[in-house]
């Protein structure tokens, strides 16, 4: 059985019961947050779900129901690491600016910014291999570019360029490795923002395939807006 979690009108999850217990223990989900499974008629506090999870389903109707998921105040809205230190915010460059700089620099800036995003992802999810794959992909792209530059020089000197099999192989390897890096980073972001920081992130596979880092930055901009709003609300309280 899985549960949706609601905090201030924002929906997170779904989470299995063991995930709920782990996130409550780490402080990422509060006992006062509301939760509900598909079998439950009403929203109940997470503390009550964990206390009655082994009871028969009929027992869910007994407690007094909450009128709406927003009818409570959450003491903290910014997920914390187990040590109590807040996770670092994602890179917050506007995705339109990234697109423009990538166009001006012939995608060079986008390549560098992908490394920045992957480096941040490695800080919050040390087990992620996205940074390693992006480094390999970047090295292959640079190597392939060097071979293409040699062909352009040959053409400029009116020489017959030679198409080497190795150059074609490097180009294919760079393309494949870039896709592997993209989807590895996609998995890392979804795992983090549906686990330690339960913000309900979903990344479209088609958008990931065609737009990669620009699409990720668009989503990270939204996440930064949510986190800033959460800090503002916490400050008001």
Domains of the chain in start order, with CATH, are 2-61 (3.30.1490.40), 95-236 (no CATH)
pLDDT given for residue 32 in this prediction = 85
pLDDT given for residue 203 in this prediction = 96
pLDDT given for residue 215 in this prediction = 97
Contacts of 122 (CB under 8 A, 6+ apart): 128, 130, 131
Contacts of 157 (CB under 8 A, 6+ apart): none
Written as tens digits, the pLDDT of the chain (237 aa) is 888 888 777 777 778 888 878 888 877 788 888 888 888 888 888 888 888 544 333 334 434 444 334 333 333 444 544 444 468 999 999 999 999 999 999 899 999 999 999 999 999 999 999 999 999 999 998 888 765 544 444 445 555 555 567 778 988 999 999 999 999 999 999 999 998 888 889 999 999 999 999 999 999 999 999 888 887 776 655
pLDDT given for residue 233 in this prediction = 73
Whether 212 and 182 have beta carbons less than 8 Å apart is answered as yes
pTM surpassing 0.85?
no
pLDDT given for residue 143 in this prediction = 87
pLDDT given for residue 41 in this prediction = 86
């Amino acid at each position: 059985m899985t549960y949706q979690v609601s905090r201030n009108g924002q929906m997170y999850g779904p989470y299995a019961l063991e995930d709920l217990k782990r996130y409550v223990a780490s402080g990422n989900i509060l006992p006062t947050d509301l939760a509900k499974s598909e079998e439950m008629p009403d929203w109940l506090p997470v503390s009550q779900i964990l206390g009655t999870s082994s009871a028969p389903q009929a027992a869910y109707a007994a407690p007094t129901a909450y009128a709406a998921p927003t009818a409570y105040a959450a003491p903290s809205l910014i997920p914390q690491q187990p040590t109590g230190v807040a996770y670092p915010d994602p890179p917050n460059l506007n995705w339109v600016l990234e697109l423009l700089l990538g166009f001006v620099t012939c995608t060079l800036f986008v390549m560098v910014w992908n490394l920045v995003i992957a480096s941040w992802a490695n800080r919050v999810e040390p087990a992620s291999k996205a940074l390693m794959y992006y480094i390999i992909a970047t090295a292959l792209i640079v190597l392939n570019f060097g071979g293409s530059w040699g062909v352009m020089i040959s053409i400029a000197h009116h020489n017959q360029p030679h198409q080497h099999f190795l150059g074609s192989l490097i180009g294919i390897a760079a393309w494949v490795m870039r896709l592997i890096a993209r989807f590895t980073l996609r998995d890392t972001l979804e795992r983090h923002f549906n686990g330690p920081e339960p913000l309900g992130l979903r990344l479209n596979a088609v958008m990931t395939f065609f737009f990669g880092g620009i699409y990720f930055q668009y989503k990270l901009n939204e996440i930064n807006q949510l986190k800033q709003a959460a800090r503002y609300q916490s400050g008001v309280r």
